[in-house]
Amino acid sequence: MFKRFFKRSLVVLVLMSAFSCSNRNNKPVIKFSGDSTSIIIKNIDEASLLQVKNAYQANADTLSLVSVLIKPGELDSIQDETEVAGKVKILGDSLIFNPDQPFVKGKDYLVESYIGVKFATIGNLINSSAKHNLQPQKQTLKR
């Protein structure tokens, strides 16, 4: 009887530690650099950073790790979001987006990234709240 109790206790402890680790909110942080000339994505978990580095080394020129869009203003005649062209580089544990043209003061920029996005955690699978498709992390930045 003691062996069965010990085994069940061990299983419960392992499951509790798995749930506590998987439910952390470790989304990457997306923000402007101090001088607002680039966008920095930091706080990328190690597994995602390794995948990004491997993909970047394989084809850095054609890789689309992050999308930056100019959001139209209320008074703009064109109501479509336009993509901002630029280059991405990896510096340490951060990803840096440098636009080809400087960011315009007073404009809103929508940044979308799939870096660090998880399909489902153990808790989502057990609760049946897993999504059927990946949703990018979105952040609106105002220059």
- Mean pLDDT confidence for 23-29: 68
The enclosing domain of 114 has a CATH number of 2.60.40
Q: How many domains does the chain have?
A: 1
Q: Tell me if 41 sits within 8 A of 113, measured CB to CB.
A: yes
* pLDDT at residue number 14: 44
State the residue range of the domain holding 115. 26-142
Mean pLDDT on 29-57: 89
Range in 25-29, 89-93, 122-126 the model is least confident about:
122-126
Q: What letter represents residue 127's amino acid?
A: N
Residue 136 within a domain: yes
Top pLDDT among 131 and 84 is at: 84
Predicted pLDDT at 32: 92
Is 49 within the bounds of a domain?
yes
Instruction: Give the Å distances, CA to CA, from 20 to 13, 105, 110.
Output: 11, 42, 32
For residue 12, tell me if it sits in a domain: no
In a domain, 2, yes or no: no
- The whole-chain average pLDDT of the chain stands at 76
What CA–CA distances, in Å, run from 143 to 5, 31, 101, 108?
59, 10, 14, 6
CB atoms within 10 A of CB 51: 14
- Rg over CA atoms, the chain: 20
Q: What is the pLDDT of residue 41?
A: 93
